[in-house]
Chains A and B, each alone.
Chain A
């Protein structure tokens, strides 16, 4: 878990660099709320304390990186409580949750406070309300930002999702430490790239896959959310089905859904499908004719 925290730090730093003190406050408050909720829930449920496994810190950080910088702090706290209390501890704690806690909390927040969760500020300025690259692309078919800005993160968006560069540093670290494998992130983004290229706005093969990859929460979701051990399949074959499913759903939501972004909904749906995928991809045990599961 410490490795994941270290891998998230570049994104935190980038978020604070682009969105200022308000972003730092959101990260701090969300993480603290997550840890406190974890402590209180374990105490209230009369189970042994699990703060030291740092999973609550990871959930808090991830959730904060998925919130817009202008979010009121009480919504950030509500999100942390939903993530830890409702999605993680009520289902039995770490390893028992059926969806990624940070992701589930983000989805609930988006549905509960839609306007607050989609109010974006311009980076490196004082709170100018604006639209995200994906929002502009969806509403007006407008590519308002250069690939360079998209890659570095000088675009409006959630605190941690804008800077693809920072996320890739974390990704490289996780790969080096062998915390995750490349399969889910690469196949996930690859599927989105392929589908957004094929189903372009002016007929087949006219899409702009690079723009789709660099904007929105795709890279953050693919590297840090979809790779969660608890909620992704166990086998290699299952992982491939899962990653492609995430990419397919994300593309469908982005291109044909009512919201500009759909990464969190796509990963959540595939999280829910994970037990089913596991059931059909677990190999036959050696020497026996029955499946292990």
Chain B
């Protein structure tokens, strides 16, 4: 019992830090860069994606033994599309402001590779309980990453945070940060910082049994530290 509980915690925590979908696996970059002009939008997008991920992980985990291998991708996409439609209609009805701000990126959750990746890599191989934890971890990690990037861009680019004015009129905000180039700048800086700190931690721990991140997690480490 204790062992399975430990594994459950590990699955839950995985998405937040070790395999954070945006900051470590660099998945779902399109919605990340597009909607994070404000911290509030980041949270809205994160919660919408988490809801879809939760629903799709549960259903795909339930049907994993009856779906033939050859047609699994279309089946997964259909399930994800169903939940995306539910989220879209719900947000349209109850959160019209965020619905308007996110625009086309809500229906585009269907093609968000984080959700398909978790369906393919996790939910189609694990029990319902584990899939729920995985969805919460991954969705939470996605939401936090979007919130961090959105906060940075909003504070520098508009001089506000969560809609509250921070800088008043002391300095003009740098509008470039809420435009597409600023998205790439903020994203690059945050990924670089996370890579820096996690490489420090790994070096301190001196892990002997492999890095445990998997190859996708490492792909950035080689590019980032070129000059050292």
Seen from chain A, the residues whose Cβ lies within 8 Å of a Cβ on chain B are 45, 47, 74, 78, 86, 92-93, 96, 108, 111-114, 116
Contact = CB atoms under 8 A, between A and B. Distances in A.
Interface extent on B, as a size class? 10 to 19
Contact of B175 (A86, A92, A93, A111): A111
A74 B175 contact: no
B74 interface: no
A269 to B, nearest CB: 14
12 contacts: A45-B227, A47-B227, A78-B174, A86-B185, A92-B226, A108-B176, A111-B175, A111-B179, A111-B181, A112-B174, A113-B172, A116-B172
Contacts of B176: 108, 111-112
B175 A114 contact: yes
* Chain A binding surface SS class: helix
Contacts, number: 24
B66 interface: no
6 nearest CB pairs, A to B: A112-B176, A112-B174, A111-B176, A92-B227, A112-B175, A113-B172
A74 B172 CA distance: 10
Interface in B186-228: 226-227
A273 B180 CA distance: 20
Contacts of A112: 174-177
Given A112-B175, A113-B175, 8 more contacts: A47-B227, A86-B185, A92-B226, A96-B227, A111-B176, A111-B179, A112-B174, A113-B174
Contacts of B179: 111
A114 B173 CA distance: 11
Nearest to B181: A111
A113 B175 CA distance: 6
Contacts of A45: 227
Interface string B152-186: 00000000000000000001101111010100010
Contacts of A86: 185
Nearest to A108: B176
Interface in B60-78: none
A81 to B, nearest CB: 12
B73 to A, nearest CB: 36
Nearest to A47: B227
A78 to B, nearest CB: 8
A132 B179 CA distance: 26
B159 to A, nearest CB: 12
Residue of A92, A113, A116 most packed against chain B (CB within 10 A): A113
Most chain A beta carbons < 10 A, residue from B171, B226, B227: B227
A69 B113 CA distance: 48
Contacts of A92: 226-227
Q: Which of A45, A93, A111 has the most CB of B within 10 A?
A: A111
A108 B172 CA distance: 14
Contacts of B226: 92
Contacts of B171: 74
A75 to B, nearest CB: 8
B64 to A, nearest CB: 45
B152 to A, nearest CB: 14
A114 B172 CA distance: 11
A121 to B, nearest CB: 18
A92 B225 CA distance: 10
A277 B179 CA distance: 29
Nearest to A93: B227
Contacts of A113: 172, 174-175
Nearest to B156: A112
Contacts of B174: 78, 112-113
A92 B171 CA distance: 31
A171 B98 CA distance: 55
A112 B176 CA distance: 4
Interface in B84-119: none
Nearest to A75: B172
A121 B171 CA distance: 21
Contacts of A74: 171
Nearest to A111: B176
A93 B228 CA distance: 12
Nearest to A96: B227
A108 B179 CA distance: 11
A108 B184 CA distance: 13
B158 to A, nearest CB: 12
Contacts of B175: 111-114
Contacts of B185: 86
